[in-house]
Structure 1
């Protein structure tokens, strides 16, 4: 008997109704988007401008407000491909190791003689000893600094390889430690880039690792690639160094362990600094824009417990000496320590504008990039081009929808109308699901939806053709419809499972446009199977129960 139980009818109708309600905000995209932005601004700052108040009032608070996010190619925005300088991290590791190595080797000075650091390539630390014949003892002592690698692939290995070459002790990062360090650096870079982009209030950015040392960054809605570079391109690497002297000669000789950096505000002035910082920006817990005693823009900062202790101890022992604050390789301030600075807080002054002080505070709060970046590729997609893409996508979807509907109605009559209604709900469910989970729609995603329109009716074609076959065998209309749905089920499942698995593979292995296409394809397959099997069946059952036809034409 052709029948669907009452509870199944409620479930089918409930899902269709929920999809309509959830997808409805996309019909009023600009109003809902303005409302959401105003709510987000209020949650962040606790206040709204008059424009934001009006935007919030344009859409009721009780109504659903989830939207399908538009990708870079639809909204416009900026695309960057950045290469992370991993060698800088290796060098920093060796620089940080030098004070410890100097300490343990100095304890053996009576045996190995005087020690000194000699120039070495990035990723190596070379220390020359006075007694060449005692190199084996020096290497033995130096190896006490090595520790096990903290990674799944580095079990049983040490982080440093220590060897002797003539009268020189050589430290290198082991292969396992170098891989673990590179992975940590990339993960940290990804997280910091994401924080900076999120702090700027951008919507639905795509930030992902590509290869071993590259990061892909796509931010819809931002004005230009340069604006995005200005936001994330600065490393914001803050360090505090002892000042050994000043000079106007940029080619002044630099002793091993020291560095010569320019003054950011006074052209032609250079500071000789100890290469090893007393504290770094990694110890910061907060940074905020403020003003100095003269009312000029500045940035206040606060250290964590360990940073506050190191900062306080150094200032207590070096009263009357200059102390350099270095940001991204430039000395932005070199004040003289007037008194012991306890409590772990201070202020960075310089010739900042209000905007520069605010941006610097934002960058410091987000954290310093562990290494610099080189932008290998940059692209800006204007909003006009995005609007053109949306218009083209709409035309393609409308034409595709119209052709499919016309073909189904011409081929199957009233049953084709039922398939058309199911197709409408299929598209509605795609948008409802993508809006609910915050998925991003791209131009290839629109192509996936258009493709789904064509494949969505495949299940109905199988069902309707099967019904025709049963009618040819003189089955009653009710029995023919029932057998049509039952016998077509296996073919429908087989066809859609293989396509679904293909979509999953595209999503997992693909990137960018390929993943955008895969998302709508996967969602469209699931919704098309539901609408083709259950929505059309419910429509047929309701129609058949109402009309009770003696014969049907499919």
Structure 2
């Protein structure tokens, strides 16, 4: 059993020996695609400028070029940016150089954190005011519908001071509207005001729920976007009340990272108002319920203000071709979105529906409170005719290219952010700094193990040699298990956890060996002393390690970032050290002394 566990650990720890190659990753920007012709162009340009490379491959819709050193990697990045232009994104990356036979067994190197691998760190802030305004706008539309269905005539409804104000004609209508709306909206407070006004606002509990939901939904969608675009081992997690930390290990190009996270946007499906003269609309003359937007080619498009559906209701979207070979996007909605789309499309067959892309970008300005001021950019990315009553499944046609259909499907599938977010801090950690951290961490492990091994070897002699072999076995198992777990990431504090488990592993052997010495002093035979020593020390070792393991689990549950990394390696180290210190050393001791008549132990 011990040999089998050691072989498995060694097999999955082996990919870490091969390291990673400096590489550049070339992918298409919005509307562009990467194909074999692009690969040939990249190879030709590299050969022309005499930049040596290890390999060029087309992988997962992107071109990956591996190099021998980072200097050539950076030169190649600059060259590709100049030769390929703005239609392609060229990112610095690190690619594992694991042999194919190991990859076929599912073995891969440990995932390294930002502090070891280098990469890009973003601190992003969710705009809660915009989230609240958006929700209040939805409530305004809901109130209009409910009052109309209840046949309660109102003078005006508008969003005002973190609430929705409804102006009615008399006090009787105020009371009737209050009864009707409060019955269907128990999470809102309704207050009467002067001039036959009724103001609806959210309860404090509902406000907190909205804030938490805005952050949680943005985290989910950001994680989906990063995963969809193929960034390895991203970290997306909440920090504080309204901030999100995004770390992209291995990505050295801040511009590339911003390209990945740049779609801090919402999607809306709206009806196209075809009854308005575009020339008049361009001059600013539009009906009260419509507004002018701009298409990708710069032409004006008049849309109804009412939002049919938002991107948050989309559960899946894929790109394909219709029966005539034209690109299209197939969309699936959740039940609520399906009901909304069915209700609208049933009565609007033959009319145009537009997909409006709304992006929030950093304006470079700051508010007096220090907040980032976002600029709103809107663009109609698609107009399609409703051909039949739509339900939870429908398709968008009229798309120019397959690449555009693919990108639109990706954006729809990843979801629309429920509230705009802005980057308040960005930091790039270079691979050289990460390598320095790795080197220092390895040195700490090596010198820590050398010191412990020398002590045990001198103090416990042959049994010290057994403990040292178990210690080396423990280190192999920790690295092997860390490489096997998909979500485990090695960080600098994680290396500290490994160093700590080195000492803890020897501590268990010290307890066993001291109990064996006690049994020998009490007159037991060597074989009896070994048996009693392991049996009596087990409960003490188990108690000590279990209490430490509970602490590590709590650290993992409540900690963030570096603390989680420390807790993961500490937990794995505790479990592997108990196995090697108790089972592993017992196997070695049995090989040395089992079934033999001995008079003295070298301990």
Same fold (TM over 0.5): yes
Q: Is residue 436 of structure 2 the alignment partner of residue 406 of structure 1?
A: no
Q: Give the match for residue 149 of structure 1.
A: none
Q: Is residue 592 of structure 2 the alignment partner of residue 543 of structure 1?
A: yes
Does structure 2 conserve the Cα–Cα contact (< 8 Å) formed by 1:236 and 1:364?
no
Q: Is residue 169 of structure 2 the alignment partner of residue 140 of structure 1?
A: no
Question: Greater shift after overlay, 515-524 or 134-143?
Answer: 134-143
Q: CA deviation at 1:418?
A: 0.6
Distance 1:104 1:547 in 2: 90
Deviations 1:216-246, CA, capped at 9 Å, x for gaps: 2222122344433332242342223356767
Question: Greater shift after overlay, 502-511 or 62-71?
Answer: 62-71
Distance 1:169 1:362 in 2: 43
Q: Is residue 5 of structure 2 the alignment partner of residue 15 of structure 1?
A: yes
Distance 1:65 1:23 in 2: 8
Map 1:372-391; keep pairs closer than 5 Å: 372-391=420-439
**Secondary structure of the equivalent of 1:550?**
coil
Does structure 2 conserve the Cα–Cα contact (< 8 Å) formed by 1:96 and 1:276?
no
Shift in alpha-carbon separation, 1:461–1:56, aligned structure 2, 3 A: closer
Distance 1:62 1:376 in 2: 42
Q: Give the match for residue 3 of structure 1.
A: none
Q: 1:263 aligns with which of 294, 317, 323?
A: 294
Distance 1:417 1:72 in 2: 37
Does structure 2 conserve the Cα–Cα contact (< 8 Å) formed by 1:283 and 1:307?
no
Shift in alpha-carbon separation, 1:262–1:104, aligned structure 2, 3 A: closer
Distance 1:232 1:505 in 2: 32
Distance 1:15 1:375 in 2: 46
Q: Give the match for residue 521 of structure 1.
A: 570
**Secondary structure of the equivalent of 1:201?**
coil
Does structure 2 conserve the Cα–Cα contact (< 8 Å) formed by 1:271 and 1:331?
no
Distance 1:408 1:187 in 2: 51
Q: CA deviation at 1:525?
A: 1.3
Q: Give the match for residue 6 of structure 1.
A: none
Shift in alpha-carbon separation, 1:325–1:489, aligned structure 2, 3 A: closer
Q: Give the match for residue 125 of structure 1.
A: 164
Q: CA deviation at 1:184?
A: 3.6
Distance 2:64 2:300 in 1: 46
Q: CA deviation at 1:138?
A: 2.8
Q: CA deviation at 1:489?
A: 2.7
Map 1:1-400; keep pairs closer than 5 Å: 11-30=1-20, 58-59=100-101, 63-106=105-148, 114-122=154-162, 124-132=163-171, 134-146=173-185, 158-166=186-194, 167-242=196-271, 263=294, 274-282=304-312, 284=314, 285-286=316-317, 288=319, 300=329, 302=331, 304=333, 306=339, 309=342, 312-313=345-346, 315-316=348-349, 325-328=355-358, 330-333=377-380, 344-347=394-397, 359-400=407-448
Distance 2:590 2:424 in 1: 60
Q: Give the match for residue 557 of structure 2.
A: 508
Q: Give the match for residue 362 of structure 2.
A: none
Q: CA deviation at 1:512?
A: 0.6
Distance 2:453 2:206 in 1: 61
Question: Greater shift after overlay, 244-253 or 97-106?
Answer: 244-253
Q: How many residues are aligned here?
A: 509
Shift in alpha-carbon separation, 1:307–1:139, aligned structure 2, 3 A: closer
TM-score (norm 1): 0.78
Does structure 2 conserve the Cα–Cα contact (< 8 Å) formed by 1:81 and 1:215?
yes
Deviations 1:106-125, CA, capped at 9 Å, x for gaps: 4677xx76421245134x21
Question: Greater shift after overlay, 486-495 or 236-245?
Answer: 236-245
Shift in alpha-carbon separation, 1:300–1:406, aligned structure 2, 3 A: same
**Secondary structure of the equivalent of 1:454?**
helix
TM-score (norm 2): 0.72
Q: Give the match for residue 475 of structure 1.
A: 524
Distance 1:517 1:402 in 2: 22
Q: CA deviation at 1:103?
A: 3.8
Distance 1:466 1:248 in 2: 95
Shift in alpha-carbon separation, 1:274–1:26, aligned structure 2, 3 A: same
Cα root mean square deviation, aligned: 4.1
**Secondary structure of the equivalent of 2:306?**
coil
Where structure 2 has 5 or more consecutive residues not aligned to the other structure, the ranges are 25-56, 67-95, 359-375
Distance 2:384 2:524 in 1: 99
Does structure 1 conserve the Cα–Cα contact (< 8 Å) formed by 2:136 and 2:159?
no
Larger strand percent: 2
Q: CA deviation at 1:449?
A: 0.6
Q: Give the match for residue 8 of structure 1.
A: none
Larger helix percent: 1
Distance 1:249 1:308 in 2: 27
Q: CA deviation at 1:472?
A: 3.2
Deviations 1:408-451, CA, capped at 9 Å, x for gaps: 11111111111000001111111222222222111111111111
